[in-house]
Amino acid sequence: MVIKVLGSGCANCKKLEANAREAVKALGIDATVEKVEDFKDILAYGVMKTPALVVDEQVKVMGRVATADEIKKLL
């Protein structure tokens, strides 16, 4: 499973990344968490409001910080 956190370095984007890592650890699944910071790459997903969460190339969360619990439900 490949998880990507889309965001260009603002505090909310870091929070989403932290929540994503926490969710992965809690579920104990085999997944990588990457940060995508270049806005051209972010726009390539059609996302205009960061932070956003992409799981296996599917955009699951757009424009807000999902909590670790919410992310667990998505994985």
Exactly one of 55, 64, 68, 72 binds other proteins (CB under 8 A); that residue is: 64
- Answer positive or negative: Cα dihedral of 10, 13, 5, 7: negative
Burial class (CB in 10 A: 0-12, 13-18, 19+), 23: buried
Q: Which is nearer to other proteins, 30 or 40 (by Cβ)?
A: 40
Q: Which is nearer to other proteins, 3 or 66 (by Cβ)?
A: 66
Distance CA 40, CA 73 (A): 29
Q: Which is nearer to other proteins, 28 or 46 (by Cβ)?
A: 46
25 is catalytic: no
Catalytic entry in 2, 10, 29, 48: 10
Which residues are known catalytic residues? Answer: 10, 13
